[in-house]
Amino acid sequence: ARLEAVQIFVAYAAYKSFPIYHMDVKTAFLNGLLKEEVYVAQPDGFVDHDHPEKAKYALEILHKHDMEKGQSIGTPMATKPKLDADLSGNPIDQTDYRSKIGSLMYVTSSRPDIVQARYQSRLTEKNLKEVKRIFRYLRGTVDMGIWYPKGSRFDLTAFSDADHAGCIDSRKSTSGGIRFLGDKLVSWMSKKQNCTAMSST
**In the prediction, which pLDDT does 46 show?**
55
For residue 200, is pLDDT > 80?
A: no
How would residue 106 be classed by pLDDT, with cut points 50, 70 and 90? Answer: confident
pLDDT one-digit tens code per residue, 29-47: 566 677 777 666 665 655 5
**In the prediction, which pLDDT does 159 show?**
96
**In the prediction, which pLDDT does 190 show?**
86
In the chain, what are the domain boundaries?
1-47+150-201, 48-148
**In the prediction, which pLDDT does 14 show?**
86
pLDDT one-digit tens code per residue, 156-198: 999 999 888 888 778 888 899 999 988 888 888 888 888 887 7
In 105-176, which ranges are continuous DSSP H helix? 125-140
Burial class (CB within 10 angstroms; exposed 0-12, middle 13-18, buried 19+) of 52: middle
